[in-house]
Amino acid sequence: MGETVLRVSNLNVFYKNRDRKLFSKADKKIQALKGVSFEMEEGQVLAIAGESGCGKSTLARAIVGINKDYTGEIYQKYDRPQMVFQDPYSSLNPAKKIGWLLEEPLRVDKTRKWTEEERKKRVEEIMEEIELPLSMLERYPSQLSGGQRQRVCIGIALMRSPKLLIADEPVSALDVTIQAQIMALLQNLHKKHGISIIFISHDLRVVYHISDYVMIMKDGCVVEKGKTDDVYRNPQADYTKELLNAAGIRA
């Protein structure tokens, strides 16, 4: 057993009710996650799977600190987990060049002061990591393909060498060929740096190829979790069986 890098205990996440209809209670809260608990070991690739609206992204946002209205406990061994979002274009400021975007996490870093020379050097290192030519540093996001933009988003997340990376549907907006390339990139980064990865997806075929462990969610709850091979070969929850059948993985 490796050291625990993340522990979530009895997590309940709430949203404010945005319904402004007559007689509605403006302060009523909607519960998005219900008693979610799991642990993640250092260096693990954990996939969180389930249909849209099941709470996958809500959980991710709570872990990185975007969703703060919750009860329960989130323990993290390391600070500053980073997140890669589904839509790489909306995640990037269209008015800034790629070089500027990559440097930004270092400009706002409160843990140390980066010189301009250090920032430039780190950007060059990351461009090599994400397998993009340095010439792209002078381009704007609109001048890159979807796959290239997602590589940049991954690069931005990696700039400060996080120990935990959360990839929220990072390939769902890409075509099949580019999906495979981005998945291979994440796998290479995992092997090279031992970074722990939470990979969120509704595609169980993608999940199988990238993860060591899988957690299945439905209606804000965890319905099954375990080693990916074990869950796929011998699912215990009816919902897991339904998902696998729908994906054509089980007869």
For residue 106, what are the contacts with CB-CB under 8 A and spacing of at least 6? 114, 118, 119, 122, 159, 160
Which H helix or E strand runs over 243? helix 238-246
Q: Is the pLDDT of residue 18 over 80?
A: no
Count of H helices and E strands in the chain? 8, 9
Residues shown for the chain: 251
Q: How far apart are CA 159 and CA 126, in angstroms?
A: 7
As a whole number, the mean pLDDT across the chain is 91
Give the CA dihedral 195, 200, 206, 207, nearest 10 degrees.
Answer: 70
Catalogue the E-assigned strands of 120-243. Answer: 164-168, 196-201, 213-218, 221-227
Q: How far apart are CA 212 and CA 148, in angstroms?
A: 26
Q: Which pLDDT tens digit goes with each residue over 74-124?
A: 999 998 899 998 888 888 999 999 999 999 999 999 888 999 999 999 999
What are the Cα distances from residue 193, in Å, to 22, 47, 173, 188, 204?
A: 54, 19, 26, 8, 25
DSSP type of residue 136: G
What are the Cα distances from residue 134, in Å, to 88, 119, 183, 185?
A: 19, 14, 22, 18
**Phi then psi dihedrals of residue 201, to 5 deg:** -160, 155
The residue written with tokens 């796998």 in the block is 187
The residue written with tokens 């703060």 in the block is 68
Q: How far apart are CA 167 and CA 206, in angstroms?
A: 13
The residue written with tokens 């999940």 in the block is 207
For the beta carbon of residue 215, count every other beta carbon within 10 angstroms: 24
Domain residue ranges of the chain, discontinuous segments joined by +:
89-161
Span 29-45, mean pLDDT?
94
Q: Is the pLDDT of residue 22 over 70?
A: no
Q: Which pLDDT tens digit goes with each residue over 163-203?
A: 999 999 998 878 888 999 999 999 999 999 999 999 999 99
Q: Which pLDDT tens digit goes with each residue over 148-157?
A: 999 999 999 9
